[in-house]
């Protein structure tokens, strides 16, 4: 089987809440996502999606996805899409770095492998380790009382895990954490995600002020070393996200005991092939994960679901259903949230069918 053509589509994803805000005054109102179609000479077509969280969150941005695809797509034409390690090594050889650019091609080739074998991706990724995938809800940063009200609203919809967007000033963040915890039950999970927004003294003030609260602290500061310093002075469970970009970062952090959980974002690390490698390393190290991505629509949500479905429940701390945050459907067959959970499709590959009217005309054809 050979790759014969690659197309990319650009889609704007508006938000039900209108705006998603996080640390340092950052926000996004319309997400710019890129859907990738990989065609083969076997008549099988695979699909992937990459949607950076704006341009201020990670070293990734929507135009970068598409300019990077224009660079590497011609260089994978003619390859066998089922040879995923060979494909990944080729992509890494022809474009150094920029893992997020490669993610949608990698995921589309997993979709092709599934369709070619008649198996859902979760089975190819190790098998069905859990049935219902527990989801977290990200709570956009606004005033503390309004955030607590949103936590209560989403809890009433079935979510039991909440990721509070903090990383503003320490005083208001302390109020945010206490207000949100006050509307939850003891069995609910609360994570305070600073998204690199605190300097170390601010992080110290927050972790001291909420040390009696049942809350996880996520990515307090920009660098690994700053996060590690805060981790070592706090007894609260600790999550790393932005600073874990690949296997090397993960191995160092495991060796340092730098966290209790990582957030594994599939496009950030380059797609399912590399995310699976990190997932399996985390399991071997006894480290649970939130399995997710930077953002996305139906195809990203389906991809998350397959990796999460094939992850043992005790190592799957939570996952994300990004397709419930937006107003636009871009594929049929994607997971739909029920009671704060989702499940991957049992159909071959990702189990999704793109809605071509939603994708529009290709913006790149190779
Ligand atoms: Mg995070």
Which pLDDT value is given to residue 30? 97
Q: In whole angstroms, what is the distance from residue 159 CA to residue 145 CA?
A: 19
Q: Torsion over CA of 278, 139, 336 and 344, rounded to 10 degrees?
A: 10
Q: In whole angstroms, what is the distance from residue 330 CA to residue 353 CA?
A: 9
Q: Averaged over 13-33, what is the pLDDT? A: 96
Q: Averaged over 177-200, what is the pLDDT? A: 98
Residue positions counted in the chain:
366
Q: Point out the catalytic residue in the list 7, 161, 165, 268.
A: 165
User: Ligand 1 centroid vs 22 CA: distance in angstroms?
Assistant: 10
Reported confidence tier of residue 95, pLDDT bands at 50, 70, 90: very high
Q: Point out the catalytic residue in the list 265, 274, 328, 336.
A: 265
Which pLDDT value is given to residue 188? 98
Q: Is the dihedral of CA 86, 90, 92, 93 positive or negative?
A: positive
How do 238-240 and 261-265 pair as beta strands? parallel
Six-digit token pair at 192?
Answer: 């305070």
Which pLDDT value is given to residue 262? 98
User: Ligand 1 centroid vs 270 CA: distance in angstroms?
Assistant: 17
User: Ligand 1 centroid vs 221 CA: distance in angstroms?
Assistant: 11
Which pLDDT value is given to residue 128? 98
Q: What average pLDDT is seen over the chain?
A: 98
Q: In whole angstroms, what is the distance from residue 102 CA to residue 195 CA?
A: 24
Reported confidence tier of residue 17, pLDDT bands at 50, 70, 90: very high
Distances (CA, A) of 296 to 33, 129, 212, 332: 6, 24, 35, 15
Q: In whole angstroms, what is the distance from residue 86 CA to residue 100 CA?
A: 18
Reported confidence tier of residue 55, pLDDT bands at 50, 70, 90: very high
pLDDT digits (tens, 9 = 90+) for 122-165: 999 999 999 999 999 999 999 999 999 999 999 999 999 999 99
Q: Count CA within 13 A, CB hemisphere, residue 102.
A: 26
User: Ligand 1 centroid vs 339 CA: distance in angstroms?
Assistant: 23
Which pLDDT value is given to residue 229? 98
Q: Averaged over 250-259, what is the pLDDT? A: 98
CB atoms within 10 A of CB 236: 19
Superfamily of domain 3-119+354-365: Enolase-like, N-terminal domain (3.30.390.10)
Q: In whole angstroms, what is the distance from residue 36 CA to residue 297 CA?
A: 13
pLDDT digits (tens, 9 = 90+) for 283-342: 999 999 999 999 999 999 999 999 999 999 999 999 999 999 999 999 999 999 999 999
User: Ligand 1 centroid vs 227 CA: distance in angstroms?
Assistant: 13
Reported confidence tier of residue 180, pLDDT bands at 50, 70, 90: very high
Report every protein residue that has its C-beta within 5 angstroms of ion ligand 1: 193, 241
pLDDT digits (tens, 9 = 90+) for 196-221: 999 999 999 999 999 999 999 999 99
C-alpha triplet 18, 26, 102: angle, nearest 5° = 90
Residue ranges matching CATH 3.30.390.10 in the chain: 3-119+354-365
Distances (CA, A) of 44 to 8, 34, 87, 301: 17, 20, 17, 21
Distances (CA, A) of 93 to 71, 79, 90, 104: 12, 14, 5, 17
Which pLDDT value is given to residue 238? 98
Of all residues in the chain, the percent with pLDDT exceeding 70 is 100
Which of the following CATH numbers is that of domain 123-350: 3.20.20.120, 3.30.160.160, 3.40.50.880, 3.40.50.300?
3.20.20.120
Of all residues in the chain, the percent with pLDDT exceeding 90 is 100
Q: Count CA within 13 A, CB hemisphere, residue 220.
A: 30
User: Ligand 1 centroid vs 76 CA: distance in angstroms?
Assistant: 32
Six-digit token pair at 61?
Answer: 């941005």
- Name residues whose C-beta falls within 8 Å of residue 297's C-beta, 6 or more positions apart in sequence: 11, 13, 33, 49, 51, 322, 323, 326, 328, 329, 330, 331, 334
Annotation marks residue 102 as catalytic: no
Which pLDDT value is given to residue 264? 98
Which pLDDT value is given to residue 9? 98
Annotation marks residue 265 as catalytic: yes
Which pLDDT value is given to residue 359? 98
């Amino acid at each position: 089987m050979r790759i014969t053509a690659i197309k990319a589509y650009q889609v704007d994803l508006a938000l039900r809440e209108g705006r998603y805000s996080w640390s340092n005054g950052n926000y996004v109102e319309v997400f710019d996502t890129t859907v990738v179609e990989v065609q083969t000479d076997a008549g099988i077509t695979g699909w992937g999606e990459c949607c950076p969280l704006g341009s201020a969150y990670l070293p990734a941005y929507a135009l970068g996805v598409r300019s990077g695809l224009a660079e590497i797509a011609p260089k994978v034409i003619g390859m066998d899409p089922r040879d995923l390690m060979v494909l990944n090594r080729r992509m890494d050889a022809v474009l150094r770095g920029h893992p997020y650019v490669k993610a949608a091609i990698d995921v589309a080739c997993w979709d092709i492998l599934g369709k070619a074998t008649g198996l859902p991706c979760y089975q190819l990724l190790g098998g069905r380790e859990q049935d219902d995938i527990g989801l977290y809800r990200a709570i956009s940063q606004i005033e503390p009382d309004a955030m607590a009200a949103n936590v209560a609203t989403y809890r009433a919809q079935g979510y039991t895990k909440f990721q509070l967007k903090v990383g503003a000033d320490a005083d208001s963040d302390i109020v945010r954490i206490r207000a949100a915890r006050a509307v939850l039950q003891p069995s609910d999970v609360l994570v305070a995600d600073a998204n690199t927004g605190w300097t170390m003294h601010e992080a110290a003030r927050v972790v001291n002020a909420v040390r009696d609260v049942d809350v996880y602290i996520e990515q307090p500061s920009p660098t690994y070393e700053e996060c590690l310093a805060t981790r070592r002075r706090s007894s609260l469970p600790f999550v790393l996200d932005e600073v874990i970009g690949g296997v090397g970062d993960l191995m160092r952090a495991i060796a340092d005991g730098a966290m209790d959980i990582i957030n594994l974002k599939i496009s950030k690390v380059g797609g399912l092939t590399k995310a699976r490698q990190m997932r399996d390393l985390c399991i071997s190290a006894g480290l649970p994960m939130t399995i997710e991505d930077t953002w996305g629509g139906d195809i990203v949500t389906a991809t998350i679901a397959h990796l999460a479905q094939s992850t043992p429940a005790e190592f799957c701390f939570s996952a994300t259903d990004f397709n419930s945050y937006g107003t636009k459907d871009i594929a049929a067959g994607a997971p739909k949230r029920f009671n704060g959970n989702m499940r991957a499709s049992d159909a071959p590959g990702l189990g999704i069918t793109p809605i071509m009217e939603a994708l529009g005309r290709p913006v790149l054809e190779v």
